[in-house]
Amino acid sequence: MNHAPEELQSIYERGLADFGSLKPNEQHIFVLHDIDLYFEMEGSVADYLISRPSHLSCLVALLQEIEDRASLQLIHRLVGSKEPTEQNQLSAEFYERSEVRWTQLGYPRADVAD
C-alpha cells in the first residue's frame, strides 16, 4: 500500500508537536522520517538514538516487526559504539538501508524525499 506525501507530512508535524499522541504505526513512520532527516543534517544518528530512548524503542520494535535484521544489527552496534568514526560508518550503513524500511511500510522513497 502506498501513502501520499501529504499523509507523511501530517504525521511528521503531529509527531513534532506530541510524539506520544501518535498511533504506534504513525510513531514508526515519524521515527523513520526523523532519523533520516537527522542523518542528512548531522551525518550520524548515534546522538539521536542515545538522546531519544522512546524513539529508539520504537525503531527497534519496527525493525523487528518488518524483520529487517540487518538494520537491527546496525542499530545495536551503533548504540554500543563509543568511537565517532565507527558511529559515522554504521550510521551511513543504516541510512543506506532506508529504502528497504520505507518500502516495507508502503512509502516509495520518492514520496519521503523533501
State which H helix or E strand residue 39 sits in: helix 24-42
Distant-in-sequence, close-in-space partners of 46: CB < 8 Å, separation ≥ 6:
78, 79, 81, 84, 87, 90, 91
Grid cell listed for 19: 510524539
What is the rounded CA–CA span in Å between residue 88 and residue 26? 27
Q: For residues 108 and 113, what is the distance between their CA atoms, to the nearest angstrom?
A: 9
Q: 54-90 pLDDT, tens per residue?
A: 999 999 999 999 999 999 999 999 999 999 999 999 9
Q: pTM of the prediction?
A: 0.86
The residue extents of the domains of the chain are 5-109
